[in-house]
Chains A and B, each alone.
Chain A
């Protein structure tokens, strides 16, 4: 089975940096994804890691350590529009499904 943990809620200030952690225990691993989901909207893809290390994409970066079962999403220069739920998801070896964490609700304050 798969177990994915991430904090339920986080709060940060506009312009700041925030790190959202995700730990996972899985029976297999074929990549880790981060999605952003605004209330009432579709989850949208942010990043993908399959090898250890840091992937940077503009204001967003994601890190993976497979040996530790650990990932984080780093958001820089926070904007009000970054207030959303951030979902960590692990892909099964069959590549047929993603197992999601419960999501981290980020609130960006002015």
Chain B
């Protein structure tokens, strides 16, 4: 089975610009989450999508928005970029319908998109 793939891997933007990051979920996974990871920090939850609707959101402003498509792929959009938005953006997917052997419902992460805002 394929894993979670993200694009682009690296990009540079300037303050005030907009960015779109893309994610293809692992095969069979219907739930996707996005996390922001600043350097030297743990990932922070941005939001989660299930059946093309946002069903959970962390402490991020509305200029962070997303989409989930019928094939479960996803986008993260950030408007009016600020310097503090520089980070690694991680996409993660899971199957909401199965808990797995242990009921863990494990998130599978992609390698991330590293955004630098100048």
Interface residue tally for chain B (C-beta within 8 Å): 26
* Contact flags B67-95 to A (C-beta < 8 A → 1, else 0): 00000000000000000000000100000
Chain A residues in 8 Å Cβ range of B105? 95
Is the C-beta of A48 less than 8 angstroms from some C-beta in chain B? yes
Nearest CB in chain B to that of A91: its residue: B105
Q: Contact check, B108 vs A101: say whether CB atoms are below 8 A apart.
A: no
Within 8 A of A (CB), among B43-60: 43-45, 48, 55-56, 58
Nearest CB in chain B to that of A105: its residue: B40
Give the docked Cα–Cα distance between A89 and B108 (Å): 14
Is the C-beta of B42 less than 8 angstroms from some C-beta in chain A? yes
B interface vs A, CB < 8 Å? 3-4, 33, 35, 40-45, 48, 55-56, 58, 90, 102-112
Q: Contact check, B45 vs A99: say whether CB atoms are below 8 A apart.
A: yes
* Contact flags A3-32 to B (C-beta < 8 A → 1, else 0): 010000000000000000000000000010
Q: Contact check, A45 vs B58: say whether CB atoms are below 8 A apart.
A: no
The main secondary structure of chain B at its interface with chain A is loop
Q: Contact check, B104 vs A100: say whether CB atoms are below 8 A apart.
A: no
Partner of B103, one of A41, A42, A50: A50
Partner of A102, one of B3, B40, B45, B90: B40
Chain B residues in 8 Å Cβ range of A45? 106-108
Q: Contact check, B109 vs A44: say whether CB atoms are below 8 A apart.
A: yes
Nearest CB in chain A to that of B88: its residue: A40
Is the C-beta of A94 less than 8 angstroms from some C-beta in chain B? yes
Sample (18) of A-B pairs whose CB atoms are under 8 Å apart: A33-B104, A35-B109, A41-B111, A42-B90, A42-B109, A45-B106, A45-B108, A48-B102, A50-B102, A50-B103, A50-B104, A87-B42, A96-B33, A96-B56, A97-B56, A98-B45, A102-B40, A103-B41
